[in-house]
Structure 1
Amino acid sequence: MKTVDKNELKANLLEFLQLVELEGEDILVVDENKPIVRISPYQRTSNTEELFKNMRGKVKYYEDLTTPTIEEWLEV
């Protein structure tokens, strides 16, 4: 992770954004050696459909999943 003073970031913002975009490097922006913000590449998260697409049609359930459980759990 590269550390940059906020004044240096202001003067060279496009250069630092290209560093993040092209090389995937995180940048920690500091003000008088105090961290104030981190700039990192955007990471798209998968939605539920994408995460479980391989399981579609393979999962079986035998009860209504919305019915509350009345069975007590035993302490171990």
Structure 2
Amino acid sequence: METVIGAGAFKARCLQLLDDVAATREPIVITKHGKAVAKVVPIPPAAELFGALKGSVLLDADIVAPLENDWEAAR
């Protein structure tokens, strides 16, 4: 369930509310004169950088072997 809070109250407790969003993963809707104007949502957790592409590249041939066909420019 989303928490709804007025802009003045959000301003007074901003840092604590940001910590709450990070801890509970629950969004907060900020209102001004009873109308929603902003929403604070948690960012998704970062993926592990190392190993993120593991298994996504396929090796089809030997990349260090000499070319089998001669190029016209090499003659």
| TM-score normalized by the length of structure 1 | 0.59
The answer to whether residue 26 in structure 2 is matched with residue 7 in structure 1 is no
Identity level (%): 19
Q: Given residue 38 of structure 1, which amino acid in structure 2 is its aligned partner?
A: K
| 1:37 aligned residue | 38
Unpaired runs of at least 5, structure 2: 60-75
The root-mean-square deviation of aligned C-alpha atoms, in Å, is: 2.5
- 5+ long unaligned stretches in structure 1: 59-76
Structure holding more helix per residue: 1
1:12-65 superposed Cα distances (whole Å, 9 cap, x missing partner): 11221111011111000000111111001112576xxx4x6434328xxxxxxx
TM (normalized to structure 2)?
Answer: 0.60
Runs of 4+ in structure 1 off by over 6 angstroms are: none
Aligned length: 57
| Higher Rg of the two aligned structures | 2
